[in-house]
A and B are shown apart, each in its own frame.
Chain A
Amino acid sequence: MKNIPCPSTATTINRRRVLSGVSGGLAGIAMHSLLAQTNGDATGNGRSAKKKAERPVIDPAKPYEQRPSHFEAKAKNVIVVFCSGAISHVDTFDFKPQLIKQHGKPLPGNEKLVSFQGPNGNLTKPLWNFRPRGESGKMISDLVPHIGGMADDICFLHSLTNKSNTHGPAENVMNTGFTFDGFPSMGAWINFALGTENQNLPAFVAIEDPRGMPQSGPNNWAGGFLPAAFQGTPLSTTKPIRYLNRPPEITAEADSEARKAWRFLEEQRQQRFKGDQQLAARVASYELAARMQLHVPHVMQVSDEPAHIRKLYGADSANGTKAAFANNCILARRLVENGVRFVQLFNGAYASGGRLNWDAHSNLKTQYDTHGEILDQPVAGLLKDLKQRGLLDSTLVIFATEFGRMPMFQAGTFGRDHNPLGFTCWLAGAGVKKGFSFGSTDAFGFRAQENILTAHDLHATILYLLGLHHQELNVYHNGIQRRLTDVHGKVIHQLLA
């Protein structure tokens, strides 16, 4: 800051000289680390929790800087592939020979079952054949043959349950831990706890499906009562970050001169408010925005990828939706490759009678044939690509959905109703076993039976892989030390590599 002129000589100094003196001035602004004084009730306040809380220490000038985990992490970055609308486990990853044998008969013990939408009909066998995959011989259906090809790298969880059988609340549970609206999402918690490696990109990115927003919409990447800095940034290959670039009517020169002038005014104010961290943080946030303007378009250039990589993901597909989703998968890889901490990749959009997402109540075969084509190769391509680049050693990939579907067809339809009693998610990559299956549902895939899991357990495990104790990552909000895992959650140690 030594070049800032004192006011008495200012009249003799023109603006260009004034500004040139401070153009690199940010580096000179002392930025002391301090306990998140700008974060209001989200961090420091409330009486200390009884249990030890390892609350992150956040410099308001650098909310995204890397922060230490509680203990050594197995995974550095996370990609969540989320299938909105509830993908059927019995038609994909949860092979049930009894369901095939008993096809057309009522579900024993639940002959008159009324579920979310009403009465159910008879047991209905999977609509695709299952066959053994990879060395592990894992039975996976022909709906997802490419993913099946990666079975030896995947750790399947067959005994997930959800406490709600309604899409919105259930998606909330999977991504925020609560049925209610307004809680911080998993990505926000992780961003809050750990920051991110690359300071030129958002720390937490939510990639929307090309067909539209997931059922629970921005809840899935909300900051809730954490500071807004930690909420997810929605962007995709078809929807760039809003207002990333200067308005077209403003020239590059005008923009750059305006920025310099703005910083000059800010530094004038800092002269008066010496040691004010918030002012420093605001200048820093504009700097970060400027760097994002440079780096985000670069990382989003998925067309730069060589042909064989685009082919691997299916980005060359004539099916426009599949190609767009494949591009999103490539983008996800490029983001973690560039040090983005948490990427959420949505497959499937909002409620649409199963037309745009996995919610096939009436016509599962036709709808899933469409959706499977879009999902399968790109996700398998992502796994393969991460693996061949060695990124799977440091990246945790999670495949999740809000619940499963019934082993029966609904009465008078050709689709399956919601089933929160048992469904499948899977993990792959950093820190988890390969070619491994954990937990199970009963003979028909109706109800989780062995090693029953909740979203809280899944969240606790994800945090654990990132080096975080789920009980200790909490903030005070309206009377409670809130956590991602509510008051539940057990780390699933059995699946750790």
Chain B
Amino acid sequence: MYLRELVSLSNPGFDPVMSIFQTTSKSFLLPLVPSIVFAVFSHARANTIDYQRQILPILKDHCYKCHGPETQEAGIRFDQRPSMLRGGDSGKPAIVPGVPGESNLVRVLAPHFEPRMPPEGPALTTAQIRLLETWILEGANWPGQMHLKASDITSNLWSLQPLNEPAVPQGATSNPIDAFIDAKLRAAALRRSAPAAPVTQLRRLHLVLTGLPPTLQDLQRFNHHPEGIDRAYAESVNQLLDSPRYGERWAQHWLDVIRWAETVGFETNLERPNAWPYRDWVIQSLNADKPYDQFVFEQIAGDTIGEDAALGFLVAGPANLPGQVGRDENAMRQARQDELDEVIRTVSQGFMGLTIGCARCHNHKFDPILQRDYYAMQGIFAGLSYGERRLRGAKNDTWQSQLPKAKDKLQQHLKRREALKKELGLEASVENIQREDFPPVTAQSVRMTITATQNGSPPSLYEFEVWSSPDTNNGQKNVALASHGSIPTASSFALANQTRHFDNLTDGTVDRRQAFPWVAAQSGPAWIGIDLVEPTEIARIVFHRGNSTPVEYTLEYRVSSDAEWQLLSDATRKMPREDDLRTAETLNLADVSAAKKREIAENSTSIRKARSEVNRLASGPRVFAASFMEKPEATWQLGRGDPMQRTRQIKPGIPKVLGEFRLDDAHPESERRIALAKDLTRNDHPLTARVIVNRVWQHHFGHGLTDTPSDLGSMGSQPTHPDLLDWLAFNFIKDGWSLKSLHRRIVMSDTFRQDNLPDAKALAVDADARLLWRFPPRRMEAEAIRDSILQTSGKLNLAVGGRGFSLFKQRGGLSGYDPIEEFDQSGWRRMIYAHKIRMQSVDIFGSFDCPDAGQMRPKRTQSITPMQALNLFNSTFATRQAGFFAQRVEAMSDDTTASQTEMAFLLALSRKPTTIEHTAMEELVKEQGLIQLCRILMNTSEFLYIP
């Protein structure tokens, strides 16, 4: 078996037999159908070439260096027939069996081809090239790989191998995590550190699990537990995992991964005002320890089981608004591709740790992902659109139950309106497309004078039609059309980004996505006129409302340019529209008393109110989340990712290397997503559990077991402890995908509880402590810093959920965001409840590597900048909180500076000052005030670090 040799060659230590049969049997070894091409040519021509003896040596000697098992330049490897059939980044097959002339291999080997192939070393001899050509002509016979098609893709990537439970290494410890860690440490001649001081353990546990330091009560309980530290620690673990603070912290980690934010991004960056229910859904799911497989399912197909908020996941990323997309076909298609691309990246990187997004333009350069796979994934989400959807649940049910009553109320007002109209003998209101018929008259020109619009905004019409009378020779037609030669004019037109010209009145187009209205330059009276080509007998005028509706107007005609204008029609006997915002006094109605006008205006107001209430209740509570159309458009593979280059239709599916769906267009749209969710959460999926377990580990220790948490592909880093990762993932599934069980396993290990002090010898071997010879201390994230400051100052507001508070003076829109500097109670909530604006660096905390939600951020950078110092030392927020902190210290201690110094340390650092610290700091308090001590304590590394 050639492939088996290959695996063992490229991945020593891997069991080739296991890997081949377990990874390949599912996806492609079953259809043992020889390719048609081979079938044809193997019979058509005699095989005169022996691959093993004549071809393999050429490829090995001249090509493998760049296109072999180790390296795949241009995304092609010459040791796999399917790869050569597919071709590399160029998209051209390297071999087309039977057709050397179409085989890129032959083309690039030609003497004058640029760049020369092979680029280094001797060129191939003519004889060698002839040999390759003949081999291709005869069908590129390749013993052992003839059953593989171009689309068959195999991989020896570690993360795609089946998940098994590795044996726990033997050792002194009974805790499997410690056993795995110790085994690696032993191999590096290192040792795990002794247990950390109890208070260090407690602080670490609190900060990692909840993002808040322990309170004085926590500290008391822990330090004075009658049954000792181990018991106290175990109780703290339970207490913290049960606390709502846990979900608030860990939800942020997930929001980072998917770059969730509450604005759309790009230049308009408008608010998504109802995005927050998704954030609450994540927090609640984590707090409830919702099994992770369920967590995945709901975010992909939550609509099928009434979990609407979960679908905020799919549309977490930025997306340009339709109005910001060009009106040319290319721009519209590109925008659709871009918004679906965000979805594919979110799903594939978030859940699968695969960078499928890289295959948008070509086969993945490094991982076994085909361009086809990208579009197959796109097919799963082809029905998706960005926007708001109904948020089902208790609130929705209540609203629905209130609906009939609201509808009744509306009906009453509408009845009253009809009665008024009848009583006053008024005609029907002006329609959006208003048709006015009149006895035929002969007209050269027609004009409309608008003196009021329904909302007071400038007069505006989309189209203005003048119809000839039915008994003229040519039948009835719109003679106002510019195409008939009529000439429009108007008192003015607005200068706006798009055309608002009066030519729009007679262009014959009323499609609001394509056409534009005429809009007058300003509010107030305006007129438009149409000069017909010749005097024509007309009998009807139709006008289409534009950005406003005319509610007071006259329609007039004249027979020639020097004749008087004659009235055709006006609105003085028309019932005012419901949306007419004019006051009773300004209603221009003939033969209607002031009292009745008032009644009409009041009735309109009541109708508007009642209608908006009915609409609100009927549409239900809203959440910004993915919506889906039942019959999605077909998905096309695109040449080089160019939306104008459709190459072939692709069925919805997952990457070939992971298996195959059998879904066709007949299935309802949701079946596609359900199929994906079920596949991702099958117990033998190689990626899903590994990916999440690694993420969780990362947020405990600062580094994941693999350092590239959203990329378990070949460009990602190899895991430091592959067996531990697999053991955790395997047992995670066994524990019913419970995240809390996983946390418990980790924090109860001695590895987690060990000391954090550096050691010169160990630093020299493993500076980052990736082998965990110590617990590596690290600076807290921006959110934890803000929350910790507030908790320490005593101002933290623990209100849970709902619409977020603002960090800026606006919640969305064009850039130029002014930060809020002084907060009150409402802004002292945990930072996860801050309204998240995309691409806007948060005041003060942005410099602490708070992600901007532009690109996915599965792992935050950790920089140290002077801006951090300025922000934490000088900002209004920091100094005010230092003041509150000082007040709190004063209230909680004796009047002595000694007692205050001690209390400040206890609250901020969970410990008393050392003697020398005490001396120095008490003097600071005496000379410069307690507030200065409070200010610097919140700036200390000790306060800012997870110890």
Binding site for B on A (CB under 8 A): 5, 7, 10-11, 13-16, 18-19, 34, 37-42, 45-47, 50, 60-61, 63, 114-119, 164-169, 171, 179-183, 202, 212-219, 222-231, 233, 241-247, 249-250, 253-254, 257-259, 261-262, 264-266, 268-269, 272-276, 278-279, 281-282, 284-286, 288-290, 292-293, 349-351, 353-354, 359, 361-363, 410-415, 418, 476-481
Are the CB atoms of A46 and B852 closer together than 8 Å? no
Are the CB atoms of A46 and B869 closer together than 8 Å? no
Are the CB atoms of A217 and B708 closer together than 8 Å? no
A477: chain B residues at CB < 8 Å are: 855
Contact pattern, B 258-289, Cβ under 8 Å of A = 1, otherwise 0: 01000001111100000000000000000000
A259: chain B residues at CB < 8 Å are: 873, 936
Are the CB atoms of A274 and B349 closer together than 8 Å? no
CA separation between A41 and B86, bound complex, in Å?
A: 33
Given A227-B862, A285-B865, A412-B504, 4 other A-B residues pairs in contact with their CB atoms under 8 A: A38-B864, A261-B921, A362-B496, A479-B367
Most chain A beta-carbon contacts within 10 A, residue among B325, B499, B503, B848? B499
CA separation between A166 and B714, bound complex, in Å?
A: 35
Are the CB atoms of B497 and A353 closer together than 8 Å? yes
Nearest CB of chain A from residue B497's CB, rounded to whole Å: 4
A289: chain B residues at CB < 8 Å are: 866-867, 869-870, 873
Nearest CB of chain B from residue A342's CB, rounded to whole Å: 16
Are the CB atoms of B855 and A182 closer together than 8 Å? yes
CA separation between A292 and B907, bound complex, in Å?
A: 32
CA separation between A226 and B863, bound complex, in Å?
A: 9
Interchain Cβ contacts within 8 Å, total number: 353
Closest 7 CB pairs of A and B: A182-B854, A412-B501, A217-B815, A479-B355, A168-B267, A10-B916, A412-B499
Residue from the list A46, A222, A244, A250 in contact with B708, Cβ < 8 A: A46
B493: chain A residues at CB < 8 Å are: 412
Query: B-side binding surface: helix, strand, loop or mixed?
Result: loop
Q: Scan residues 25-67 of chain B and give those whose CB is less than 8 A from a CB of chain A.
A: none
The contact sample of 15 A-B pairs, CB cut-off 8 A, is A10-B919, A13-B916, A38-B862, A42-B861, A47-B716, A223-B861, A225-B857, A243-B874, A250-B932, A257-B928, A259-B873, A266-B941, A273-B777, A285-B864, A478-B349
Nearest CB of chain A from residue B66's CB, rounded to whole Å: 9
What residue of chain A has the Cβ atom nearest to residue B515's Cβ? A118
Are the CB atoms of B259 and A182 closer together than 8 Å? yes
Are the CB atoms of A218 and B840 closer together than 8 Å? yes
Knowing A10-B915, A11-B919, the reply to whether A262 touches B936 (Cβ < 8 A) is yes
Choose, from B434-442, B556-564, B648-656, B760-768, the stretch at the interface: B760-768
Q: Scan residues 839-855 of chain B and give those whose CB is less than 8 A from a CB of chain A.
A: 839-841, 843-844, 846-849, 852-855
Knowing A116-B326, A181-B839, the reply to whether A272 touches B866 (Cβ < 8 A) is no
Are the CB atoms of B919 and A292 closer together than 8 Å? no
CA separation between A290 and B939, bound complex, in Å?
A: 14
Are the CB atoms of B328 and A114 closer together than 8 Å? yes
Are the CB atoms of A480 and B499 closer together than 8 Å? no
Knowing A10-B915, A217-B815, the reply to whether A281 touches B864 (Cβ < 8 A) is yes
Are the CB atoms of B503 and A411 closer together than 8 Å? yes
B814 at the interface (CB under 8 A from A): yes
CA separation between A228 and B349, bound complex, in Å?
A: 23
Residue from the list A181, A246, A278, A415 in contact with B779, Cβ < 8 A: A278
Are the CB atoms of A7 and B936 closer together than 8 Å? no
Are the CB atoms of B941 and A243 closer together than 8 Å? no
Nearest CB of chain B from residue A477's CB, rounded to whole Å: 7
Residue from the list B497, B875, B922 in contact with A243, Cβ < 8 A: B875
CA separation between A222 and B864, bound complex, in Å?
A: 16
Nearest CB of chain A from residue B674's CB, rounded to whole Å: 27
A265: chain B residues at CB < 8 Å are: 917, 921, 936-937, 940, 942
CA separation between A217 and B854, bound complex, in Å?
A: 13
Are the CB atoms of A241 and B355 closer together than 8 Å? no
CA separation between A11 and B760, bound complex, in Å?
A: 31
CA separation between A264 and B914, bound complex, in Å?
A: 12
Q: Scan residues 327-350 of chain B and give those whose CB is less than 8 A from a CB of chain A.
A: 327-328, 331, 334, 338, 349
Are the CB atoms of A166 and B326 closer together than 8 Å? yes
B367: chain A residues at CB < 8 Å are: 479
B73: chain A residues at CB < 8 Å are: 50
Are the CB atoms of A39 and B862 closer together than 8 Å? yes
CA separation between A244 and B867, bound complex, in Å?
A: 8
What residue of chain B has the Cβ atom nearest to residue A280's Cβ? B864
CA separation between A253 and B929, bound complex, in Å?
A: 12
Are the CB atoms of B838 and A181 closer together than 8 Å? yes
Are the CB atoms of B855 and A224 closer together than 8 Å? yes
Residue from the list A18, A40, A245 in contact with B920, Cβ < 8 A: A18
A61: chain B residues at CB < 8 Å are: 864
B154 at the interface (CB under 8 A from A): no
Residue from the list B869, B919, B932 in contact with A285, Cβ < 8 A: B869
A218: chain B residues at CB < 8 Å are: 815, 839-841, 852
Are the CB atoms of B324 and A166 closer together than 8 Å? yes
Contact pattern, B 797-838, Cβ under 8 Å of A = 1, otherwise 0: 000000000000000001110010000000000000000001
Nearest CB of chain B from residue A356's CB, rounded to whole Å: 10
CA separation between A7 and B864, bound complex, in Å?
A: 29
B708: chain A residues at CB < 8 Å are: 41, 45-46, 476, 478-479
B499: chain A residues at CB < 8 Å are: 117-119, 410-413
Are the CB atoms of B325 and A41 closer together than 8 Å? no
Are the CB atoms of A411 and B325 closer together than 8 Å? no
Are the CB atoms of B715 and A47 closer together than 8 Å? yes
CA separation between A53 and B309, bound complex, in Å?
A: 43
Are the CB atoms of A118 and B710 closer together than 8 Å? no
Are the CB atoms of B267 and A258 closer together than 8 Å? no
B454 at the interface (CB under 8 A from A): no
Nearest CB of chain B from residue A424's CB, rounded to whole Å: 21
Are the CB atoms of A274 and B860 closer together than 8 Å? no
Are the CB atoms of A222 and B854 closer together than 8 Å? yes
B868 at the interface (CB under 8 A from A): yes
B923 at the interface (CB under 8 A from A): yes
Residue from the list A212, A250, A268, A284 in contact with B879, Cβ < 8 A: A250
CA separation between A219 and B266, bound complex, in Å?
A: 9
CA separation between A164 and B331, bound complex, in Å?
A: 8
Are the CB atoms of A181 and B854 closer together than 8 Å? yes
Are the CB atoms of B849 and A228 closer together than 8 Å? yes
Knowing A15-B920, A182-B854, the reply to whether A292 touches B866 (Cβ < 8 A) is yes
What residue of chain B has the Cβ atom nearest to residue A414's Cβ? B495
Are the CB atoms of A479 and B716 closer together than 8 Å? yes
B269: chain A residues at CB < 8 Å are: 217
Are the CB atoms of B320 and A169 closer together than 8 Å? yes
Are the CB atoms of A47 and B714 closer together than 8 Å? yes
Are the CB atoms of B863 and A19 closer together than 8 Å? no
Nearest CB of chain A from residue B645's CB, rounded to whole Å: 15
B771: chain A residues at CB < 8 Å are: none
B786: chain A residues at CB < 8 Å are: none
Are the CB atoms of A117 and B327 closer together than 8 Å? yes
What residue of chain A has the Cβ atom nearest to residue B940's Cβ? A265
CA separation between A12 and B825, bound complex, in Å?
A: 44
Are the CB atoms of A217 and B497 closer together than 8 Å? no
Are the CB atoms of B848 and A228 closer together than 8 Å? yes
A349: chain B residues at CB < 8 Å are: 816
CA separation between A228 and B933, bound complex, in Å?
A: 28
A224: chain B residues at CB < 8 Å are: 852, 854-855
Residue from the list B503, B715, B853, B917 in contact with A476, Cβ < 8 A: B715
Knowing A63-B863, A222-B854, the reply to whether A362 touches B328 (Cβ < 8 A) is no
Residue from the list A164, A165, A262, A411 in contact with B501, Cβ < 8 A: A411
Are the CB atoms of B932 and A258 closer together than 8 Å? yes
Nearest CB of chain B from residue A182's CB, rounded to whole Å: 2
What residue of chain B has the Cβ atom nearest to residue A410's Cβ? B499
CA separation between A257 and B868, bound complex, in Å?
A: 19
Nearest CB of chain B from residue A284's CB, rounded to whole Å: 8
Nearest CB of chain B from residue A475's CB, rounded to whole Å: 10
Are the CB atoms of A213 and B815 closer together than 8 Å? yes
CA separation between A241 and B875, bound complex, in Å?
A: 11
